[in-house]
Amino acid sequence: MRIRATIGSLVVVFVCTAVGQAADLKTFASEKYGFSVAHPADWKTGPQTEHDLMPGDQHPKGVQNAFQFDCVPDYSRPCSVLVSVHEAKPQAFEEFSKFFKGMVGGMFQGAKVNPARKLTVNGLEGYEIVYGEGSFFGKTRLVVFFQNGKRYSIVMTSGMEAADFEKDAPKYEAFVQSFRVVK
Protein backbone atom coordinates (compact mmCIF):
# COMPACT_ATOMS: atom_id res chain seq x y z
CA MET A 1 0.00 0.00 0.00
CA ARG A 2 2.84 2.40 0.91
CA ILE A 3 4.60 1.69 -2.42
CA ARG A 4 1.36 2.36 -4.33
CA ALA A 5 0.84 5.65 -2.47
CA THR A 6 4.44 6.68 -3.15
CA ILE A 7 4.14 5.88 -6.85
CA GLY A 8 0.84 7.79 -6.96
CA SER A 9 2.51 10.79 -5.31
CA LEU A 10 5.35 10.68 -7.82
CA VAL A 11 2.88 10.62 -10.71
CA VAL A 12 1.02 13.60 -9.25
CA VAL A 13 4.27 15.54 -8.81
CA PHE A 14 5.30 14.70 -12.38
CA VAL A 15 1.94 15.70 -13.86
CA CYS A 16 1.77 18.89 -11.79
CA THR A 17 5.33 19.77 -12.78
CA ALA A 18 4.55 19.24 -16.47
CA VAL A 19 1.48 21.45 -16.21
CA GLY A 20 3.34 23.95 -14.05
CA GLN A 21 6.01 24.44 -16.72
CA ALA A 22 3.52 26.32 -18.89
CA ALA A 23 2.07 28.28 -15.98
CA ASP A 24 2.43 28.43 -12.21
CA LEU A 25 -0.19 26.61 -10.21
CA LYS A 26 -2.76 28.53 -8.21
CA THR A 27 -5.07 27.13 -5.51
CA PHE A 28 -8.80 27.72 -5.57
CA ALA A 29 -10.57 27.01 -2.28
CA SER A 30 -14.18 27.25 -1.22
CA GLU A 31 -14.45 27.25 2.54
CA LYS A 32 -18.25 27.36 2.26
CA TYR A 33 -18.41 24.18 0.12
CA GLY A 34 -15.40 22.48 1.67
CA PHE A 35 -12.94 21.83 -1.13
CA SER A 36 -9.72 23.06 -2.67
CA VAL A 37 -8.08 22.37 -6.01
CA ALA A 38 -4.95 23.53 -7.84
CA HIS A 39 -5.02 24.80 -11.42
CA PRO A 40 -2.63 26.59 -13.78
CA ALA A 41 -2.56 30.30 -12.94
CA ASP A 42 -3.51 31.27 -16.50
CA TRP A 43 -6.86 29.45 -16.26
CA LYS A 44 -9.79 31.81 -15.86
CA THR A 45 -12.24 31.10 -13.08
CA GLY A 46 -15.83 31.97 -13.66
CA PRO A 47 -18.39 33.07 -11.10
CA GLN A 48 -20.10 30.52 -8.91
CA THR A 49 -23.39 29.40 -10.43
CA GLU A 50 -26.35 27.46 -9.13
CA HIS A 51 -28.08 24.88 -11.29
CA ASP A 52 -29.17 21.26 -11.56
CA LEU A 53 -26.56 19.06 -13.20
CA MET A 54 -28.06 15.61 -12.92
CA PRO A 55 -31.74 14.78 -13.42
CA GLY A 56 -33.43 13.67 -10.24
CA ASP A 57 -31.04 15.50 -7.94
CA GLN A 58 -32.77 16.70 -4.81
CA HIS A 59 -31.31 19.96 -3.53
CA PRO A 60 -32.52 22.65 -1.22
CA LYS A 61 -34.18 25.12 -3.60
CA GLY A 62 -33.40 22.70 -6.47
CA VAL A 63 -29.86 23.96 -7.05
CA GLN A 64 -26.28 22.94 -6.62
CA ASN A 65 -23.18 25.07 -6.62
CA ALA A 66 -20.77 24.98 -9.51
CA PHE A 67 -17.41 26.59 -10.14
CA GLN A 68 -16.08 26.84 -13.71
CA PHE A 69 -12.46 26.96 -14.82
CA ASP A 70 -11.64 27.83 -18.45
CA CYS A 71 -8.45 25.99 -19.37
CA VAL A 72 -7.75 27.75 -22.69
CA PRO A 73 -7.45 31.37 -21.50
CA ASP A 74 -7.74 32.93 -24.97
CA TYR A 75 -10.95 30.94 -25.69
CA SER A 76 -9.49 29.85 -29.05
CA ARG A 77 -11.20 26.50 -28.52
CA PRO A 78 -13.52 25.02 -25.90
CA CYS A 79 -11.95 23.60 -22.76
CA SER A 80 -13.49 23.86 -19.35
CA VAL A 81 -13.57 22.15 -16.00
CA LEU A 82 -16.64 22.39 -13.80
CA VAL A 83 -16.62 21.50 -10.10
CA SER A 84 -20.07 21.10 -8.60
CA VAL A 85 -21.05 20.40 -5.01
CA HIS A 86 -24.36 19.51 -3.44
CA GLU A 87 -25.89 17.38 -0.74
CA ALA A 88 -26.23 13.75 -1.73
CA LYS A 89 -26.30 10.32 -0.19
CA PRO A 90 -23.30 8.16 -1.06
CA GLN A 91 -23.86 5.70 -3.87
CA ALA A 92 -22.10 2.39 -4.38
CA PHE A 93 -19.86 2.20 -7.42
CA GLU A 94 -22.14 -0.17 -9.34
CA GLU A 95 -25.25 1.88 -8.51
CA PHE A 96 -23.71 5.17 -9.63
CA SER A 97 -22.18 3.62 -12.76
CA LYS A 98 -25.51 2.11 -13.86
CA PHE A 99 -27.42 5.33 -13.11
CA PHE A 100 -24.96 7.54 -14.95
CA LYS A 101 -24.64 5.27 -17.97
CA GLY A 102 -28.43 5.25 -18.32
CA MET A 103 -28.63 9.03 -17.94
CA VAL A 104 -25.90 9.72 -20.52
CA GLY A 105 -27.40 7.21 -22.94
CA GLY A 106 -30.72 9.04 -22.72
CA MET A 107 -29.24 12.52 -23.09
CA PHE A 108 -26.56 11.88 -25.72
CA GLN A 109 -27.96 9.26 -28.06
CA GLY A 110 -25.21 7.46 -29.91
CA ALA A 111 -22.53 8.68 -27.50
CA LYS A 112 -19.97 6.18 -26.32
CA VAL A 113 -19.87 5.60 -22.55
CA ASN A 114 -16.64 3.94 -21.37
CA PRO A 115 -16.75 1.57 -18.40
CA ALA A 116 -16.54 3.37 -15.07
CA ARG A 117 -13.50 2.87 -12.88
CA LYS A 118 -12.66 3.52 -9.25
CA LEU A 119 -9.86 5.86 -8.26
CA THR A 120 -8.39 7.24 -5.04
CA VAL A 121 -7.26 10.87 -4.73
CA ASN A 122 -5.83 12.25 -1.48
CA GLY A 123 -7.55 9.50 0.50
CA LEU A 124 -10.93 9.97 -1.22
CA GLU A 125 -12.43 7.04 -3.11
CA GLY A 126 -14.04 8.23 -6.30
CA TYR A 127 -15.53 7.07 -9.57
CA GLU A 128 -14.53 8.10 -13.06
CA ILE A 129 -16.45 7.82 -16.32
CA VAL A 130 -15.39 9.06 -19.76
CA TYR A 131 -18.34 9.57 -22.08
CA GLY A 132 -19.76 11.60 -24.94
CA GLU A 133 -17.47 10.60 -27.79
CA GLY A 134 -19.61 10.77 -30.91
CA SER A 135 -22.02 13.30 -29.39
CA PHE A 136 -22.48 17.02 -29.96
CA PHE A 137 -20.52 17.83 -26.78
CA GLY A 138 -17.54 15.61 -27.56
CA LYS A 139 -15.53 13.49 -25.18
CA THR A 140 -16.07 14.36 -21.52
CA ARG A 141 -14.53 13.08 -18.30
CA LEU A 142 -16.42 12.96 -15.00
CA VAL A 143 -14.90 12.24 -11.60
CA VAL A 144 -17.21 11.98 -8.58
CA PHE A 145 -16.45 11.82 -4.85
CA PHE A 146 -18.99 11.33 -2.04
CA GLN A 147 -17.82 12.84 1.23
CA ASN A 148 -19.45 14.45 4.30
CA GLY A 149 -22.96 14.11 2.87
CA LYS A 150 -22.02 15.81 -0.40
CA ARG A 151 -21.32 14.77 -3.96
CA TYR A 152 -18.32 16.54 -5.49
CA SER A 153 -18.36 16.26 -9.29
CA ILE A 154 -15.51 17.35 -11.57
CA VAL A 155 -16.33 17.48 -15.29
CA MET A 156 -13.84 18.26 -18.07
CA THR A 157 -14.66 18.82 -21.71
CA SER A 158 -12.51 20.01 -24.59
CA GLY A 159 -15.04 20.28 -27.37
CA MET A 160 -15.67 17.85 -30.19
CA GLU A 161 -12.08 17.14 -31.26
CA ALA A 162 -10.70 13.99 -29.60
CA ALA A 163 -7.16 15.31 -30.12
CA ASP A 164 -7.98 18.37 -27.98
CA PHE A 165 -9.32 16.12 -25.23
CA GLU A 166 -6.09 14.08 -25.25
CA LYS A 167 -3.99 17.27 -25.30
CA ASP A 168 -5.82 18.61 -22.23
CA ALA A 169 -5.82 15.28 -20.34
CA PRO A 170 -2.59 15.97 -18.34
CA LYS A 171 -3.97 19.33 -17.13
CA TYR A 172 -7.19 17.67 -16.08
CA GLU A 173 -5.39 14.80 -14.38
CA ALA A 174 -3.31 17.26 -12.34
CA PHE A 175 -6.49 19.16 -11.45
CA VAL A 176 -8.23 15.97 -10.25
CA GLN A 177 -5.15 14.76 -8.35
CA SER A 178 -4.96 18.07 -6.46
CA PHE A 179 -8.62 17.94 -5.34
CA ARG A 180 -9.12 17.92 -1.56
CA VAL A 181 -12.12 17.99 0.73
CA VAL A 182 -11.17 20.45 3.46
CA LYS A 183 -13.91 20.03 6.03
Query: Domain coordinates of the chain in residue numbers?
Result: 2-181
Q: What angle do CA 74, 172, 10 make, to 5 degrees?
A: 130
pLDDT tens track for 29-38: 888 888 999 9
- Looking at residue 51, what is its pLDDT? 53
> 2-181 in CATH: which number?
3.40.1000.10
Please state, rounded to an integer, the average pLDDT across all residues of the chain.
74
pLDDT surpassing 50 at residue 1: no
Tell me how far apart the alpha carbons of residues 95 and 97 are, in angstroms, rounded to a whole number: 6
- Looking at residue 164, what is its pLDDT? 83
Q: Please say whether the beta carbons of 78 and 158 come within 8 A.
A: yes
Q: What's the whole-model pTM score?
A: 0.75
